[in-house]
Amino acid sequence: MKPTDFSVHMTSFLTHYLAAQRNLSPNTIKAYRDVFTLLLRFCRDGHGIALERLSLAHIDAPLVEAFLDHLGKDRHASIRTQNHRLAVLHAFFRYVQSDVPERMLQCQQILAIPLQRHARQNVGYLSKEDLALILAQPDLRSREGRRDAVLLSVLYDTGARVQEVIDLSAGDVRLNSPAQVRLMGKGRKMRAVPLMDATVQLLRDHLRENSLDRPEHADHPLFQNRQGERFSRSGVRYVLQNYVQAVRSDHPGFTQPVSPHSLRHTKGMHLLQSGVSLEIIRDFLGHVDVKTTQIYARANLEMKRKALEKVADDTPLPKMPSWTQNKTLLEWLHSL
């Protein structure tokens, strides 16, 4: 059976365009692939289209809108998730329109489907006191506890995404001055991030204890699970949650949600509060655009606003006269 035009372009998009031309990471490509999996199931189960007969002509703007509606109503996907799915389809049809000019109108109708507006989430970051409580939890008398202490310290100190820390190898660490780690970020972009002295000492001990300071072990994972393999994202989350729960048991008032990404946000906020410019924070965290980094500035302003409101509530202000009592002013306004 002859392959359909949709199958040809989808395969080329996932295996060649995203990997070779866009240089996206394997995890990002998997996320794109998952969107197409959902779309294929929707076309098959919701519209009765046999997958071996699915063509570009079937996937028009009404079908994409129905797919998004299905995600929200049947799969209970959040607006943020629906927007991600739509952004993937936008990328695909932006790619298709240059290869299939006769489908340009159909592609542009899909590209015209707007992302939904949603409320901005507050940046979840930890105070210095709460951060210190979590970092003090690992038991340094055990090998596993020492590993976890280094893992959490590196997560915070570098402001790295969890996948960036998972991908670290021993050779990515430089402890000679200036001490730094080399992170592979989104879009396969490499950046060097400086380390604090305390983290340098933890890493030096960690490398020595696990024989990772040998040149022949440069490609070994910096952090290994019990099987001697790289951590998974869920594995890092599990380690962190164990110590967060330990803090909660001793401090019942600590109810703030904490994830590995919270440590990244915490580093960004602490840098901003220390007077570091947004441009430097952008480069430190590996953001493509400073607009992404501005979430920390907005969160910081919101925090200051709430503090000022609290002070204002406690400060008795003199009662101001009402403009409605000024008859001359009212007569002038009514005459306009």
Q: pLDDT per residue over 263-307, tens digit each?
A: 998 998 888 888 888 888 888 888 776 666 676 666 655 555 554
Active site residues: 161, 186, 261, 264, 287, 296
Q: What is the pLDDT of residue 218?
A: 92
Q: How far apart are CA 183 and CA 158, in angstroms?
A: 9
| Higher pLDDT, residue 260 or 122 | 260
pLDDT in tens, 102-132: 999 999 999 999 999 866 556 678 888 999 9
The predicted model gives 142-148 an average pLDDT of: 95
Q: What is the pLDDT of residue 24?
A: 82
Query: Does residue 144 carry a pLDDT above 80?
Result: yes
pLDDT in tens, 84-104: 999 999 999 999 998 899 999
- Of the candidates 82, 110, 81, the one whose C-alpha atom is nearest the C-alpha of residue 94 is 110
Q: What is the pLDDT of residue 245?
A: 95
Q: How far apart are CA 83 and CA 240, in angstroms?
A: 29
Q: What is the pLDDT of residue 186?
A: 75
pLDDT in tens, 8-30: 999 999 999 998 888 887 888 99
Helices (H), the chain: 5-12, 26-41, 47, 61-73, 79-99, 104-111, 128-135, 143-158, 162-166, 197-209, 233-250, 260-273, 278-285, 290-314, 327-335
Query: What pTM, to 2 d.p., does this model score?
Result: 0.68
Q: What is the pLDDT of residue 103?
A: 93
3-state SS, 91-146, equals HHHHHHHHHCHHHHHHHHHHHCCCCCCCCCCCCCCCCHHHHHHHHCCCCCCCHHHH
Q: What is the pLDDT of residue 305?
A: 54
Residue 23, burial from CB neighbour count under 10 angstroms (0-12, 13-18, 19+): exposed
* Coil, helix or strand at residue 262: helix
Angle at 81 between CA 121 and CA 77, to 5 degrees: 105
Q: How many CB atoms lie within 10 A of CB 185?
A: 19
To the nearest whole percent, how much of the chain has pLDDT over 90? 61
| Higher pLDDT, residue 310 or 292 | 292
Model confidence at 308, pLDDT cuts 50, 70, 90, reads very low
pLDDT in tens, 175-227: 988 889 999 887 678 888 888 888 999 999 999 999 999 999 999 999 999 89
